[in-house]
Structure formats: C-alpha cells, structure tokens
Amino acid sequence: MQPLTRPSFLCWVLVAWIATLTGGCGRSLLDDFSGIGLDSGVPDGSLACDVDDACNDGLYCNGAETCVDGLCAPGEAPLCDDGIECTVDTCTEEDGGGCTFEPDDARCGDGERCEVGYGCIRDACESDADCDDGLVCNGVEVCVDGRCEATPAPDCDDGIDCTSDACDEAMGGCVHAPDHTACADGIFCNGDELCDVSTGCVPGTPVTCDDGLACTSDVCDEDARSCVYEPEDLDGDGYAADTCGGGDCNDGDPAVHPGAVEVCDNGIDDDCNGLVDCLDPQCSSQPACGCIPSPEICTGGLDEDCDGLADCADPDCALDPACVCVPAPEDCSNGVDDDCNGLVDCLDPACAGDAACCVPQPESCTNRVDDDCDGLVDCADPDCAGNLACDTCLPVEVCYWDLDLNCNGLYGCDDPDCFTFPSCCAASETTCDDGRDDDCDGLVDCADPDCAGNAACCAATETSCNDGVDNDCDGLVDCADPDCTGNAACCAATETSCNDGVDNDCDGLVDCADPDC
C-alpha cells in the first residue's frame, strides 16, 4: 500500500466533511443553514429585505423581484410577443436579458419568407407588383434585387391636434376625423368651436337669438345654455301682452290682466277672459247683474249659486264627477291635466322631451340634439348646410370613433353602417322591435331566441305547439298551453287520463266516452 500523498489526504478529508454535512445520522448540517438562504438562489418570499435591490437574483426572464413588507417577492416574467405570427418570440438572459424575435420562414406560405416587424412577405420577385399584398396600412411592398422588401407603415399623423388619425383599409389609406369636442371652450353663447381638418380649431359663430316677435327680449343665457325669450310687460302688471303669450288683453293698463277682479259695470274685460261685466261669471252673483241663487251646476262656467265661484272652483262641486280627476297618462297637447298632478301639458315633467313641447333653438351642428324641433339632427339638418362641421362628409361611417363622419345625423354605433362592426355588437339582442341585429348573430328582433318571452314578440295565442317557445308569453309552453289542446303535436296514442276533461288522443272522445277508458 502506497502512503497517502498530501493531495490524496486532503481529498479524503473533504469527502469525510461532505459526508458529515449530508450524512447518515438523520440530519444534514446543511439543514441547519436552510433558514438563511443557502439552499436557494431565487427569492421566494422567505428572505428578509429592506430594498428591492436586496432581492435581485440577476436574471431578466423571471421578472424583477421586489421587497414587499420586508420580504422578497418574485417578479412577473416579461411578455415577449411582437404580434407577428411567423416569428419565434423568446426571452434571453444574454447581453443583460431581453426579448428576441427570430423569423421562421416555415410559418409562412410557399414562396414567402418571414420579415421581422412585418410578417410573411413574398420572397422572389421581378417587380413591385409581385410583392403587393393588396393592403395599404402595413406599408408598400417593393422588389429590391429580386427580393420583396417591406417599407414602413404609413404615418397618418397630420399634426392637427383636433383630428383622430388612423389608417383605414376600407377608405384606402389615412383617415383624419375631426373631433369637434377637442376644440370646445365650454361657452355656449359664443357658438360651437369646430375642427378644420386642414388648419385645426376655428372659433364658433355666436348664437343668434331671435324668435321673430317684437314683444319679447331675446337673449342668450349662458347659465341655461339656450336662447331665452322673455315677453316684455309694458304696463308692469306682471303679464305680457296676449299677442306675446302673456295673456294681457291691454298691456297699457296695469289694472287689466288675467286674474284681475272683474268690475261689473265699467264696460271693460278686466280679467281678460273675453267676457265683459255681467257676462263674466265673476259678476253673476253681483246685485248689479241680478243674480238669483240656484243649485250650482258644475259645468258651463256659470256661478249659479251666486257665491262668486263657478264650476269646479266652487266647493259645492268637490265630489261632482266633472271635477274628480282620474289619473291617466299625460297628453302633452290637449290642454288637460291628464295625470291629475296639477300641471298641464308642457308644464308637466312627464312631457319633457315630447315633440309637442320642444322649444325651437338655433340648430347646433355638433351637439347630437334636434335643437330646432324639425326632427333632423346636426349635419342631417339642412340648416347645417355650409357649416364647417358638415363640409367634409365620407361616403360611409368610420366606426372606430363615435362621430358622424357621413353627416346623416347618426353617431358611431347608432349608424346602420356600424351595426355589424365588432365593437358595436352587444352580447345579446337588447331591443326586440328596432329592426336591428343588436348582437350580430344574423337574427333580428323576434327571430332571435334572446327575444323569447319579450312583450314585443308575444303572439295572441300559442302559434306553435312543438318549438319549445312560449309564443304568447302566458308562462305555458307548447302542449302545456290550453291553446294547443287538440293540436296533433300534443296528441297521445291513447286516452292518458279518464277524468281530466281533455281529449288526450284527439279522437273526439273525452274521458269515459273514449273506449280507451
């Protein structure tokens, strides 16, 4: 046996020491150090820290480790995806770490190669025409030395702050849509600031308020954001002339106005109700007019009991049917308080937005409102002809933006051009009687199963007894609906019950009259 040399001896000592660390006594010395991080090179939330740098493991592709509440937390791996299908996207630790995008021609079609930053492009070519993919927005393909090369996508930025710029294949290139809201200064009375696609924002034309009536003062009210037409009260009695809607039949006499006390012997219609002196119901109880009391009749406008009160204004008529209001939906143009809330027609909030109550204003061409009450909105209104907002109209709506670029008064998804645009499609049929395929599944209104049970799609009776649909919306489907009694789809082979009063097998015989029973 050869004596151990010094290197050999050191090897045996090292082996023995390692055996002790990992050894067979049931516990490794390394176990005693496991709590201080010797067994982990990657922060796992168990290491104490005071700053993020204390947690950095030096790797890029597993994300940036951070110090959270005094403990190291793992990072989130970076997403390497250039959006091009023919490249192999990977994360690398080389050169400090980063994403790489390697072209893989095998992912392209025959005669094509993968171009980083572009995608599959035709390889061999003789002219630019061989390279053209028919698309505008991904740049122009050119033939260089027998190979197709891609050029940068078009830069659609026109440098105008108030336009939305994008490349649209359907329009054949860059589209610059004016965004008039970007020019708005928030002031109503100085008019609508508009976006000129060539020069940018231009000032609005101040609102002109003129109702054509000489008896009103016409002003633009910034607080109300509308024109206000105030009837002028020349005699200061609180009522404007009746020719101006104020009801004063003599705007030169402050004693004459609606609601005034009728003087029964002066030959003047003091209360402006069209009746003078004794012809006025106010005078019916006056001695000068020879009132002879009789029971009050609650219609006709006369004060029969000579108490100065006529019809429903007289407490005697409180319970008379003619004076008891039965609430009904408010009709906004009949001069009657239909819903019994004390407010008639357009004074009733229920009439807000009703065409009968529309107060004409000068048409604004960008606010999506029918200001002049002619049923036409913005650029669809002839009043907007020549307005800058309506000068440039596209043949079809561009559905990327909620704008009216084809000048038909319909914005974004409300325009028929956009009904099937992906972002305009709802999850289900939202309205069942608008003639629109709301969820873009090819089924419109009641033809869409989403509308089953909707009131707009209910028939008078069960129209089909085997379609699984409650056609008349009575809660009973197919044969469970009495409407289907006797229908062939609901007939059994024999009388299934002999005491239910139903001809179950549709042979014209009911219960015990049927030989089946």
Q: What is the pLDDT of residue 41?
A: 42
Contact 102, 88 (CB under 8 A): yes
Q: At residue 295, what is the residue type?
A: P
Provide Rg for the chain, Cα atoms. Answer: 43
Q: What are the tens digits of pLDDT across the range 186-218?
A: 999 999 999 999 999 999 999 999 888 878 889
Nearest to 357 by CA among 328, 332, 329: 332
**Residue 455 confidence (pLDDT):** 74
Distance between CA atoms of 182 and 280, rounded to whole angstroms? 61
Contact 376, 365 (CB under 8 A): no
Distance, in Å, from the CA atom of 431 to the CA atom of 166, rounded to the nearest integer, reads 32
Predicted pLDDT at 30: 36
CA dihedral 44, 50, 54, 56 (to 10 degrees): 50
Q: Could you state, in order of their start, the residue ranges of all structural domains in the chain?
A: 87-150, 163-208+362-424, 259-305, 458-517
Q: Tell me the HSE value of 122 on the side-chain side, using a 13 A CA sphere.
A: 18
pLDDT confidence of residue 13 = 35
Contact 69, 100 (CB under 8 A): no
Contact 344, 330 (CB under 8 A): no
Among candidates 203, 208, 138, which has minimal Cα distance to 173? 138
What are the tokens at 260?
Answer: 């005034």
Give the pLDDT score at 505.
Answer: 82
Q: Give the pLDDT of residue 24.
A: 39
pLDDT for res 4: 38
**Residue 4 CB burial class (10 angstroms; 0-12, 13-18, ≥19):** exposed
Per residue of the chain (517 residues), give pLDDT as tens.
334 333 333 343 343 334 433 443 333 333 333 333 333 444 444 689 999 999 999 999 999 999 999 999 999 999 999 888 999 999 999 988 999 999 999 999 887 888 887 788 877 888 999 888 888 888 888 999 888 888 888 999 999 999 999 998 888 899 999 999 999 999 999 999 999 999 999 999 999 998 888 788 899 999 989 998 888 888 989 888 888 878 899 999 999 999 898 888 888 999 999 898 888 878 877 777 777 778 888 887 777 787 777 788 788 887 787 787 767 788 888 877 887 777 778 778 777 667 788 878 888 888 888 888 888 889 999 999 888 888 878 888 888 788 888 888 898 888 998 988 888 999 898 888 888 899 999 999 988 988 887 878 888 888 889 888 888 888 888 888 888 888 888 888 888 888 888 888 888 888 888 888 8
The answer to whether the CB of 378 falls within 8 A of the CB of 365 is: yes
Residue 173, exposed/middle/buried by CB under 10 A (0-12, 13-18, 19+)? exposed
Rounded to two decimals, what is the model's pTM? 0.40
Q: Can you tell me the distance from the alpha carbon of 23 to that of 41, in angstroms, rounded to the nearest whole number?
A: 23
- Give me the phi and psi of 124, to 5 degrees please: -80, 145
Residue 271: CA count within 13 A, CB half-sphere: 16
Query: By C-alpha distance, which of 198, 197, 203 is closest to 185?
Result: 203
* pLDDT value, residue 491: 85
Lookup: tokens for 138: 């991904």
Residue 326: its pLDDT value, please? Answer: 67
Residue 382: phi, psi to the nearest 5? -55, -25
Query: Which tokens sit at 88?
Result: 């192999």
DSSP string, 284-326: TTSGGGT----PPPSSSS--TTSSS--GGGSGGGTT-GGG---
- Note the pLDDT of residue 15: 38
Residues making up the chain, counted from first to last: 517
* Residue pLDDT, tens place only, 67-85: 999 999 999 999 999 888 9
